[in-house]
């Protein structure tokens, strides 16, 4: 039976009481909620779940009938990455998939992922999770008609439901829409397309900025029937459009000669789902479609979506007519839509807000070498390569080659969900504050779900303490995420539940000991090397964490390549804690022997607890009297401007 500490119980009680007292119905037709989440996709569902679990009255507005966005409503039911980093609500979702299908191997039906499932199953799991939360109200098939800032209160929304129109007050608002439409409507500063190399500081960025985004895809979920499925020849069909989607006699001049041409059978197995179904989301001259509809009207968007859908219909006809897969047809037991197709297309890119921080490739690849130590503020982890889809764009050959650009596994900072200029608004899904390049990996489902969870948690703590999101303690957010099964750093050394896991996570975000990132094909890893002997040169930041003991630390240090003994490690703990630390802390160890990195982490965490040192959203350490938010000015709803250039 799980036990709860008195401190945890009191904290949870205070959050719930605060949210309960503030979540009362106003006069007339308006109802107030502590947290309103717009968008029932991957991030929005996670955000609403976390907010409600903190005891806050939470409203989740989903434009679709289903929950899950790209994972379900758009049909991309193949999870990219994080197989070994099953963090927080994402890990909870994946474990539910395993329970549904029977075991872990049952999810590895296709070769694009080790986690594939039927979209309807994913929706059912998410819906079940939502319905368990007593503080969470779900409005499906709901759109926002209008939104305005309510000074001193939050945001006032007019929403359209199947039952009619309704007015809602949101004390904290989370934009988890597919394209960042709420942030756009509220005037949040944002970017669309590729930044130039001069702006982003990334070597792989283009020389000049442009307005080009990634391709979208209108996915189809097919089912294998026991008889041929008749298909009408689509208007405009030409087999040459898909000739080089796989190895065929029709292929003579592929768009990208560097891309592997798979056999037709392997192409189909790419997105094979359980129970004889197939996800058609093929990137090699398949059904990707280029359209930049981020700032378009709803009518223009729908026209582009129909064109994307038409391309997928032509691709299905190619599978039937040219490749012989004539027993495949639209699954009749997945979507409740009139034609059996997904509710929405799969968007890989959206607005990217200008947040408190901007997470770029330099921070991702070399987190410890940057002027701002953003890794100290991490709230999510990822391990997928930077993967951009641009083949459907005319002129793709002139763009940077970002197809599986190798990176180590990485940690995403909290500040990416906080806009510079809105104190009670948070932004999640794919509209977070990252560079265009980095969007190619943070857009993937596990990272998006983790950041949604972090946004929901941040909103709840903001409500509890009656402060803007930017004023919430970074460490408070991180502690709560760890308590709820989250990862802060992508270390693979020990699994969750291991006695070293939490100390490893806490010390990892201090930077006192640092992980080593590796790129191995699609497997991007970071290891702390907990079993390796500790060297003096591998210990960082001590003087920054303990400025009053600088001279003692310098006298204590040996040569960089010299191994640290157990006795020397204990002496350091004594110096910094100002009390005697004995061998009883590491029973059975030879005092003259070398201490391992893992044991040193245990000592740091247990004796010194440097994780308790507060940091701001830039990772800078805070001293007594320092502001949590290093900004020039604040308004009654929080951040107005940041002195840090993007």
Domain ranges within the chain, ordered by starting residue: 24-208+349-360+415-474, 216-330, 501-612
pLDDT confidence of residue 24: 42
Q: Sort 76 into a burial class: Cβ within 10 Å, 0-12 / 13-18 / 19+.
A: buried
pLDDT confidence of residue 93: 98
423-431 average pLDDT score: 95
pLDDT level of residue 629 (50, 70, 90 thresholds): low
Structure tokens, 375: 């890794």
pLDDT confidence of residue 193: 96
pLDDT confidence of residue 4: 34
pLDDT confidence of residue 396: 83
Mean pLDDT of the chain: 92
Q: pLDDT per residue over 133-164, tens digit each?
A: 999 999 999 999 999 999 999 999 999 999 99
Q: Are 99 and 93 in contact (CB under 8 A)?
A: no
3-class state of residue 154 by DSSP = strand
Per DSSP bridges, beta strands 638-639 and 634-635 are: antiparallel
pLDDT confidence of residue 12: 46
pLDDT confidence of residue 289: 98
Share of the chain above pLDDT 90, in %: 86
Q: What angle do CA 432, 435, 437 make, to 5 degrees?
A: 120
| 58-72, 235-249, 253-267, 375-389: least confidently modelled range | 253-267
d(CA 42, CA 176): 8
pLDDT confidence of residue 644: 32
3-class state of residue 254 by DSSP = coil
Per DSSP bridges, beta strands 425-427 and 164-175 are: parallel
pLDDT confidence of residue 77: 98
Q: Which residues contact 577 (CB under 8 A, 6 or more apart)?
A: 607, 608
**Chain centroid offset of residue 276 CA:** 30
- Which residues are bridge partners to 563 per DSSP? 535
d(CA 413, CA 438): 13
Q: Are 181 and 175 in contact (CB under 8 A)?
A: yes
Share of the chain above pLDDT 70, in %: 93
d(CA 25, CA 10): 26
List Cα–Cα distances, 63 to 37, 139, 360, in angstroms.
11, 8, 31
Q: pLDDT per residue over 509-564, tens digit each?
A: 999 999 999 887 767 999 999 999 999 999 999 999 999 999 999 999 999 999 99
Structure tokens, 368: 């410890």
The reply to whether CATH 1.10.579.10 applies to domain 24-208+349-360+415-474 is no
Q: Are 437 and 204 in contact (CB under 8 A)?
A: yes
71-81 average pLDDT score: 97
Q: pLDDT per residue over 240-290, tens digit each?
A: 999 999 999 999 989 888 888 999 999 999 999 999 999 999 999 999 999
> Tokens 């299908």 identify what position?
101
3-class state of residue 68 by DSSP = coil
466-489 average pLDDT score: 97
Threshold 0.85, pTM exceeds: yes
pLDDT confidence of residue 628: 66
> Does the pLDDT value for residue 405 go beyond 90?
no
62-77 average pLDDT score: 98
321-343 average pLDDT score: 97
d(CA 42, CA 444): 10
Q: Which residues contact 361 (CB under 8 A, 6 or more apart)?
A: 200, 202, 204, 205, 386, 407, 435, 437, 438
Q: What angle do CA 115, 119, 122 make, to 5 degrees?
A: 70
> Does the pLDDT value for residue 79 go beyond 50?
yes
3-class state of residue 88 by DSSP = helix
From the CA atom positions of the chain, what is the Rg in Å? 26
pLDDT confidence of residue 630: 54
């Amino acid at each position: 039976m799980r036990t709860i500490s008195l401190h945890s119980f009191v904290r949870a009680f205070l959050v719930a009481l605060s949210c309960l007292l503030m979540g009362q119905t106003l006069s007339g037709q308006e109802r107030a909620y502590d947290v309103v989440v717009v968008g029932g996709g991957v991030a929005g569902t996670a955000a609403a779940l976390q907010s409600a679990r903190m005891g806050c009255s939470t409203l989740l507005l989903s434009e679709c009938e289903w929950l899950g966005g790209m994972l379900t409503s758009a049909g991309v039911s193949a999870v990219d990455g994080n197989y070994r980093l099953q963090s927080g609500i994402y890990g909870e979702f994946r474990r539910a998939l395993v329970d549904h299908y029977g075991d872990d191997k049952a999810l590895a039906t296709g070769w694009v992922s080790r986690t594939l499932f039927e979209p309807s199953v994913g929706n059912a799991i998410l819906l079940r999770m939502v319905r368990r939360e007593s503080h969470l109200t779900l409005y499906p098939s709901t759109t926002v008609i209008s939104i305005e800032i309510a000074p001193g209160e939050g945001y006032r929304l007019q929403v359209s439901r199947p039952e009619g129109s309704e007015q809602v007050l949101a004390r904290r608002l989370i934009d988890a829409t597919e394209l960042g439409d709420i942030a756009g409507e509220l005037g949040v500063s944002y970017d669309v397309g590729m930044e130039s190399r001069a702006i982003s500081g990334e070597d792989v960025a283009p020389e000049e900025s442009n307005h080009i985004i990634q391709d979208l895809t209108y996915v189809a979920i097919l089912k294998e029937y026991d008889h041929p499925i008749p298909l009408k020849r689509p208007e405009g069909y030409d087999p040459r459009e898909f000739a080089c989607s796989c190895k065929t006699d029709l292929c003579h001049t592929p768009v990208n000669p560097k891309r592997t041409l798979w056999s037709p059978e392997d192409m189909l197995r790419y997105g094979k789902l359980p129970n004889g179904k197939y996800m058609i989301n093929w990137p090699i001259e398949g059904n990707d479609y280029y359209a930049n509809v981020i700032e378009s009207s709803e009518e223009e968007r729908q026209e582009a979506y129909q064109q994307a859908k038409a391309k997928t219909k032509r691709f299905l006809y190619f599978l039937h007519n040219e490749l012989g897969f004539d027993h495949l047809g639209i699954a009749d037991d997945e979507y409740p839509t009139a034609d059996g197709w997904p509710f929405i297309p799969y968007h890989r890119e959206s607005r990217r807000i200008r947040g408190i921080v901007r997470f770029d490739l330099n921070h991702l690849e070399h987190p410890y070498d940057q002027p701002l130590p953003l890794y100290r503020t991490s709230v999510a982890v990822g391990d997928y390569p930077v993967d951009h889809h641009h083949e459907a764009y005319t002129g793709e050959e002139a763009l940077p080659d970002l197809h599986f650009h190798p990176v180590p596994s990485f940690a995403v900072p909290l500040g990416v969900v906080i806009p510079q200029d809105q104190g009670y608004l948070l932004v999640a899904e794919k509209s977070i504050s990252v560079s265009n390049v980095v969007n190619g990996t943070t857009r993937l489902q596990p990272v998006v779900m983790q950041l949604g969870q972090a946004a929901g948690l941040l909103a709840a703590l903001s409500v509890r303490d009656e402060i803007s999101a930017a004023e919430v303690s970074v460490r408070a957010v991180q502690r709560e995420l760890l308590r709820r099964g989250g990862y802060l750093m992508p270390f693979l050394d020990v699994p969750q539940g291991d006695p070293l896991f939490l100390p490893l996570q806490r010390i990892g975000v201090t930077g006192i000991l640092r992980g080593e990132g590796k790129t191995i094909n699609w497997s991007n890893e970071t290891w702390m090397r907990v079993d390796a002997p500790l060297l003096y040169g591998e210990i960082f930041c001590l003087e920054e964490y303990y400025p009053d003991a600088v001279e003692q630390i310098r006298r204590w240090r040996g040569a960089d390549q010299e191994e640290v003994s157990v006795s020397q490690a204990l002496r350091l703990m004594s110096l910094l804690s100002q009390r005697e630390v004995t061998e009883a802390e590491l029973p059975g160890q030879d005092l003259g022997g070398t201490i391992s990195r893992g044991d040193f982490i245990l000592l740091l965490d247990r004796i010194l607890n440097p994780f308790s040192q507060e940091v701001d959203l830039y990772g800078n350490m805070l001293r007594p009297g320092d502001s949590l938010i290093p900004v020039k000015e604040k308004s009654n709803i929080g951040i107005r401007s940041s002195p840090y250039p993007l």
